Structure 1
Amino acid sequence: MSKWLNRTHCVAVLAMIVTLVLALAGCSSSSTPARGAVPDTLRVALLPDENAGEVLKKNQQLKTYLEGKLGRKVELVVTTDYSSMIEAMAHDRLEFAYFGPLSYLLAKQKSDIEPFAALQEVKGQPPTYQSVLVANPASGIKTLHDVAGKTVAWGDPASTSSHLIPKAMLAKAGLRVDHGDYQQQFVGAHDAVALAVQNGNAQAGGLSKPIYERLIESGTIDRNKVVVIAESVPYPNYPWTIQASLPAEFKAKVRAAFLDLDDQSVLKPFKGAGFAPVTDQDYNVVRQLAPLLGINLADLSK
């Protein structure tokens, strides 16, 4: 009798365990959407080009606009750095994201993502932007050649306009950091670059021209202490990207939301007139730039 009870007890316990496991599995599948499914809350990442709190504050109108257009809640995300944003996209913790050209290429190596829109500064014009090299007049720097022997501040290693492009500008002028022509330091964000130059922690620095202009307008930096010494040629602007695994109908809806956007209160933080369509091929010019500087994209994406 006791053996029968023990056996019955074991069967009952096993049944309870199986039931619990199935219940937990059910909860897991309902709370985490399957890859390719459209979640109730869309996670949308913005680049950590400036202070995260400021980026989120400035883009609340974008959040409201997208929620209205897409019929879903939107969670804006600003990661600590470019690498964290790339990893978040690679691990399906974001549905779409606003990358810089270089960080997009790095993310593309780890994620199946598609670029679909980039900012137009002027309607009808190509979606391009420029980088600037700035200097503190107290350093005596007036031209690119004057940067020799000085310390240059860059933003993030994966930044296009606060690393890759201005570094290429110096290389074209005959100055390479790998040849010991100047020293470099990475300070994280574009605003940190401008402040490093203003405070004398670096004599020169590189950042996005639109961000430089915004920092001047807001009074964050003094135009007499951080001056532009050179501007780059135009490069393809920051792309909005989306997970390729999402349904085609939803991706088309997201694309239309950006391409139809003309609300200036939403566009104000971007300093542009609207968004234009882009494809992966538009960023080949950036792909070709990295090897010329001895920069290995595979190494940067690790």
Structure 2
Amino acid sequence: MQRRTFLAAAAAAVIAAGAGAMPGRAEDPETLKVALLPDENASTIIQNAQPLKDYLEQALGRDVELIVTTDYSSMIEAMRFNRIDVAYFGPLSYVLAKSKAAAIEPFAVGVKGGSPTYQSVVIANPAGPVKAIADIRGQTFGFGDPASTSSHLIPRALLAGKGLTAGTDYAFAHLGTHDAVARAVQAGQVQAGGMSEEIYKKLVERGTIDPAKVVVLEESKPIPNYPIVMQGELSPELKAQIRAAFLEMKDPAILKSFRAEGFAATDDQAYDVLRETAQILNLDLAKMN
């Protein structure tokens, strides 16, 4: 009887999970799980973020586990099902996560040059057929992850503003990360692509891409920067500690992981521009991951 009762309870739990129930984590977890956006190679991200791990462990008085998911969609799902506590999202991936997990809270945004914004760029190989935006017509364009702001949504909107519709006026491929887009353009695998301007500059600085083989054709308008987001179910005391740890972060070695000079407070309304852009492009956010 006890075994049948246990199996029935287990089956009920599986059914509940399939119906959308969200398994929760403790309000005050002993180990804080912090996810970083998988916009570059995962091992590079983790290695560069070790100063962040050390800082947060000291500031919060608990263990911190850094996580880089396989792609944007798996990070959104991890946040949705409470498998991570704090996350560094791209603007669009945050909007997608918020649409699935209303309780999550953006609380800090990266600031550089005094501004909480960044830009997307359209790049091309100067040896190829694309010398200007108009030349993208009839070619193949490289986007990053479908849930990426600066490597999908914004360059797609920029091209649309120039009269170029994805799938009609040009073919496209989703290549995953920003650095994958840059390498594909450099190798001539795609004739042009979209990516974060900051990541482009960093790849040039590292020597990952050759600026003689990958050039910027156009920059986007400013985009609200990447938000730091936490689970709304965390205890008020822990949330206050996490918020303070980021807003008071000053060490350049730590901030380097976020391509920022510091953090400012933010909220959900700051990202309405992404929702409006998706609507203009007739993109259904619910189907984008």
- On whether the aligned pair clears a TM of 0.5, the verdict is yes
In the alignment, what sits opposite 2:134? 145
1:47-126 aligned at under 5 Å gives the runs: 47-111=37-101, 112-122=103-113, 125-126=114-115
Contact between 2:141 and 2:191, CA under 8 Å: does it hold in 1?
yes
Take 2:64 and 2:77, find their aligned partners in 1: how far apart are those partners? 20
Take 1:98 and 1:278, find their aligned partners in 2: how far apart are those partners? 13
> Aligned partner of 2:72: which letter?
Y
Which whole-Å deviations, capped at 9, do the CAs of 1:281-302 have from their partners, x for residues lacking one? 000011100011121101114x
* In the alignment, structure 1 residue 228 sits paired with structure 2 residue 216: yes
Contact between 2:106 and 2:267, CA under 8 Å: does it hold in 1?
yes
In the alignment, what sits opposite 1:187? 175
Which whole-Å deviations, capped at 9, do the CAs of 1:71-127 have from their partners, x for residues lacking one? 1111100000001001111111000101111100110111120000111012xx231
> Aligned partner of 2:274: which letter?
V
Take 2:255 and 2:224, find their aligned partners in 1: how far apart are those partners? 18
**How far off its partner does 1:269 sit?**
2.8
* In the alignment, structure 1 residue 169 sits paired with structure 2 residue 174: no
Which whole-Å deviations, capped at 9, do the CAs of 1:40-70 have from their partners, x for residues lacking one? 1111000110010001011111011111101
Contact between 2:118 and 2:197, CA under 8 Å: does it hold in 1?
yes
Take 1:220 and 1:86, find their aligned partners in 2: how far apart are those partners? 28
**How far off its partner does 1:248 sit?**
1.6
1:193-232 aligned at under 5 Å gives the runs: 193-232=181-220
Take 2:231 and 2:115, find their aligned partners in 1: how far apart are those partners? 24
| 1:283 counterpart (266, 271, 274) | 271
In the alignment, what sits opposite 1:253? 241
**How far off its partner does 1:35 sit?**
4.0
> Aligned partner of 1:187: which letter?
L
> Which runs of no fewer than 5 residues in structure 1 stay unpaired?
1-12, 22-32
1:26-45 aligned at under 5 Å gives the runs: 35-45=25-35
**How far off its partner does 1:36 sit?**
4.8
Please give the root-mean-square deviation of Cα atoms over the aligned residues, in Å. Answer: 1.8
Structure 1 residues 34 and 171 mapped into 2: Cα distance closer, same or farther (>3 Å)? Answer: closer
Take 1:198 and 1:222, find their aligned partners in 2: how far apart are those partners? 8
Counterpart of 2:84 in 1: which secondary structure?
coil
TM-score by length of 2: 0.90
> Which runs of no fewer than 5 residues in structure 2 stay unpaired?
10-22
Larger radius of gyration: 1
TM-score by length of 1: 0.86
Contact between 2:24 and 2:82, CA under 8 Å: does it hold in 1?
no
Which whole-Å deviations, capped at 9, do the CAs of 1:133-153 have from their partners, x for residues lacking one? 000001132221111111100
Counterpart of 1:198 in 2: which secondary structure?
helix
Contact between 2:122 and 2:192, CA under 8 Å: does it hold in 1?
yes
Counterpart of 1:224 in 2: which secondary structure?
coil
> Aligned partner of 1:293: which letter?
L
**How far off its partner does 1:34 sit?**
5.8
Take 2:209 and 2:28, find their aligned partners in 1: how far apart are those partners? 42
